[in-house]
Chain A
Amino acid sequence: MKPVVIVGAGPAGISAARTLLDHGVTPCLIDENLRGGGQIYRRQPLGFQRSARQIYGFEASKAQAAHRTMDELAPLIDYRPQTLVWNAEDGRLDLLDNGRAESVDYARIIVATGATDRILPVPGWTLPGVYSLGAAQIALKYQGCAIGERVAFCGSGPLLYLVAYQYAKAGAKVVAVLDSAPFSAQCRALPALLGQPLTLAKGMYYRAWLTAHGIPVHQGATLQKIDGEQRVSGIRWDDHVLACDAVAFAHALRSETQLADLLGCEFAWNTLNRAWLPQRDNAGRSSVNVVYLAGDGAGIMGADAAKMAGERAALAVLEDSGVAIDQRRPAVLEQQLAGIQRFRHGLETAFPFPEQWAAQAPDALMVCRCEEVSAGEIRAVVDEGHWELNRVKAHCRVGMGRCQGRMCGLAAAEIVAERSGRGIEQVGRLRGQAPIKPLPFGVEVQP
């Protein structure tokens, strides 16, 4: 019998697997990482000594619970860590497991592919010492390292203050936090944020802690340039110059949607996420019959919501497979998710997208770090009359490299929209193409 397959062992995937197993359905859980937990609850390698409290702070108990669940599940389900899903075709997933190509058929699939940082490039962003906010956090929680001796945190979004706080707490020198969102935006957002007082309080705590510890926090400050020859030597914004040897920056998160795309899910423009997202109903059902979506991979709502959405999607899988479930549970979950969704609107007000970014990006700015395509080259293609993102890609290679536009695609779309005078929702989205990540020659093929 074909299994229910879950892709991604973050909060959504783990909770989906737990729910399925609790109802007597043994799932196959496929994850690229070595250990379950996803990026948010990424687990340090075996042999590391720090406590969960040290690594995850306020989120320690949630992280531990996720890890505990993962440890319980691992021997009971078909768990496949360190395995890449590189393609989906005809009811089957194509996998790459340690240099071997394999495939797995699925009866139903829950896509819980998570998110990466949303990047709006700045001059100097490819220098050694510049990382995404998520990367800076992973260096610390997964490896016990700081990305440099004197680190600046820039951009926007809740992760900005959290990671700066974690770094300072762990003994790193945080030279500044630059928040591109003005303080007034955060005041405006307050009513919506009050719906989740605990989360709001944590955010305010990080911010206050940084100030109390003498770490300069600049609001309404947009990182303009990262200086350096062979590595970072400083940053610039407005009239300021500040020496540092590492920079972490991002503007919130973006969903990993390639697998949903290859599975044939319909996408729709989502204003809140400012992105094209695979459509899902409140239960997580996609437009494709046996495909379900859970967690940040189908719109950013955070780890708590991902856990609920994973359970909700698993319940939908069970319902649709004719397995009895507690009929009250879906409504409870959906109500909680709706609450988080309101908070999410508040966050977007508090950390608004910097709409002026595209207009201000200098022509020389390298937007695509794989193919080394500049903003000016993208604009030149637009000036020839192209405005659809895949056509722009065809002409100047933006988004065509190893990462398939994960790092530059959204930024490129902003530039195309701004230059062509179209709305960001009108320029389309980069089509997903297999392989989801690079695939080696000489791959062994399992019969």
Chain B
Amino acid sequence: MIDVIVLGGGIVGASAALMLAQKGQRVALVERDFCGSHSSGVNYGGVRRQGRPLHQLPLSQRAHQLWADLPGLIGIDGEYMRSGHLKLARSHADFAALQAYAEQTRGFGLGLQLLDYAELRARFPWVGDIAVGASLCPEDGHANPRLVSPAFARAAQRCGAAVYEQAEVMRIEHDSRRFQVHCANGLHLQAAWLLNCAGAWAGSVAAQFGEAVPITCAHPAMLVTEPLPVVMNVSTGVEGGGIYARQVARGNCILGGGRGFALGPLTARPGQAAVLEILRNAGELYPFLKGAQAIRTWSGTEGYLPDHEPVIGPSSTQPGLLHGFGFAGAGFQLGPAVGEALAEIVCTGASRHPIEAFSIRRFQA
């Protein structure tokens, strides 16, 4: 007997499975491919609160607490570093926007520090001259998604969750008591709860239960350099968008920016235009990359809703169905807290942290 079926072995689904298993629920985690092999495992690896919309911050702060003891949660450090996250401004208008954000978020405990041109040079001398100022969130950081996301699934398994990989869901039914989930490999599961954490592919599940959402896919362009002398001591982004970059302890720099394209329903590539754009333009922000080589590029498939906010919480049509998807490329940091919130709904009927803003009902007006 199973209490909860979780669809999707990404960081959200695997966290939910982990938290549910920890609370004594009998959980089955169903993954079409391998756990943590899509967006959760191939994203940039930013573990960042800075820059998020205000109503995401309570959940993001909770996630921040969970990340604090990552080894306790999943058994590995996942190369998680609270390096700080530095958001660069390329113009005075952009710097003003950073100042405004710092003002608005003052009550949330992000501890943002605004750095003017001289302060930025003094603290981060490797930043290119084009940056006129920056906002530093000292306790934000980065981690290795390739390691972290699969480790959530493994931790769930250790806590007693049944994890099914290579199990593509073909059919879902609700027989007025339970959800019946049938997979292509013959697996058949039934449970009173169903968690839809299927990432960019979650829309079809919602639609099947009569609450279609306008979800679309997007594909980030990312690349990694060969190992370089360690220069960057923070993860970086740019106000208004553009190139983002971090450097891992082994010396490789990971850069993202621009969009790739879908190769098929499951796979994506970064695309030559975005790659060349990064290679050509990264130098003005990160001059130390001169002479370095990019050795690999990749992309993934991320779900976006029109307001770039996720869908988190109960279905509006089907009791027992919960959603957690559509993170618009920013779900890695939030993932553990979203999993916890979904687990709390199953166990206690409500999440401890506010999630109303993410209700699927917002598309039914």
Interface set of A (CB-CB < 8 Å, partner B): 87, 89, 92, 94, 101, 103, 264, 384-385, 388, 391, 394-395, 400-402, 404, 433-435, 438-445
Contact = CB atoms under 8 A, between A and B. Distances in A.
B41 A394 contact: yes
Given A438-B226, A440-B292, A445-B276, 9 more contacts: A89-B272, A385-B154, A394-B41, A433-B297, A435-B296, A440-B291, A441-B289, A441-B290, A441-B294
B209 interface: no
B279 A400 contact: no
Contact of A441 (B34, B291, B297): B291
B296 A433 contact: yes
A388 B292 CA distance: 31
Nearest to B149: A394
Nearest to B270: A434
B304 to A, nearest CB: 23
Interface in B291-344: 291-298
Interface in B267-296: 269-272, 275-276, 279-280, 282-283, 289-296
Contacts of A395: 146-147, 150
Contacts of B280: 442-445
A444 B283 CA distance: 12
B34 A435 contact: no
Interface string B183-227: 000000000000000000000000000000000000000000110
A396 to B, nearest CB: 10
Contacts, number: 82
B37 interface: yes
B146 A394 contact: yes
B186 to A, nearest CB: 19
Nearest to B225: A441
Contact of A440 (B271, B272, B279): B279
B294 A439 contact: yes
A376 B15 CA distance: 30
B284 to A, nearest CB: 10
B350 to A, nearest CB: 35
Contact of A101 (B276, B282, B296): B276
B297 A434 contact: yes
Contacts of A400: 296
Contacts of A388: 34
Interface string B129-158: 000000000000000001100100010000
Contacts of A385: 154
Contacts of A384: 154
Contacts of B147: 394-395
Top 10 closest pairs, chain A to chain B, by CB: A438-B293, A394-B146, A441-B289, A94-B272, A439-B294, A443-B279, A87-B272, A402-B295, A438-B295, A434-B297
A265 to B, nearest CB: 13
Contacts of B263: 264
Contacts of B275: 87, 434-435, 439
B272 A103 contact: yes
A109 B154 CA distance: 45
A164 B258 CA distance: 51
B150 A438 contact: no
A400 B276 CA distance: 21
Nearest to A103: B272
A435 B294 contact: yes
Given A394-B146, A395-B146, A440 B269 contact: no
Given A394-B146, A438-B226, A445-B280, A404 B296 contact: yes
A394 B41 CA distance: 9
Contacts of A103: 272
B79 to A, nearest CB: 11
A391 to B, nearest CB: 5
B301 to A, nearest CB: 15
A402 B297 contact: no
B292 A435 contact: no
A124 to B, nearest CB: 23
Nearest to B293: A438
Given A89-B269, A438-B293, A441-B290, A433 B298 contact: yes
B256 to A, nearest CB: 15
A385 B9 CA distance: 15
Nearest to A393: B146
Contacts of A87: 272, 275
Contacts of A434: 269-270, 272, 275, 297
Contact of B290 (A435, A439, A442): A442
B295 A441 contact: no
7 contacts: A94-B272, A264-B263, A404-B295, A404-B296, A434-B275, A440-B279, A442-B280
A400 B150 CA distance: 18
Contacts of A444: 280
B37 A391 contact: yes
A30 to B, nearest CB: 16
A342 B284 CA distance: 58
B40 to A, nearest CB: 12
Given A87-B272, A443-B276, A402 B226 contact: yes
A225 B256 CA distance: 42
A429 to B, nearest CB: 15
A314 to B, nearest CB: 27
Contacts of A439: 275, 279, 293-294
A442 B298 CA distance: 19
A294 B226 CA distance: 32
Given A94-B272, A441-B283, A394 B37 contact: yes
A173 to B, nearest CB: 37
A192 B272 CA distance: 47
Contacts of B291: 440-442
A395 B297 CA distance: 17
Interface in B236-251: none
Contacts of A438: 226, 293-295
Interface string B150-188: 100010000000000000000000000000000000000
The residue in B271, B279, B291 that gathers the most chain A C-beta atoms within 10 A of its C-beta is B279
A278 B154 CA distance: 35
A62 to B, nearest CB: 36
A358 B272 CA distance: 38
A259 B154 CA distance: 35
Contacts of A433: 296-298
B276 A440 contact: no
A75 B147 CA distance: 52
B42 to A, nearest CB: 9
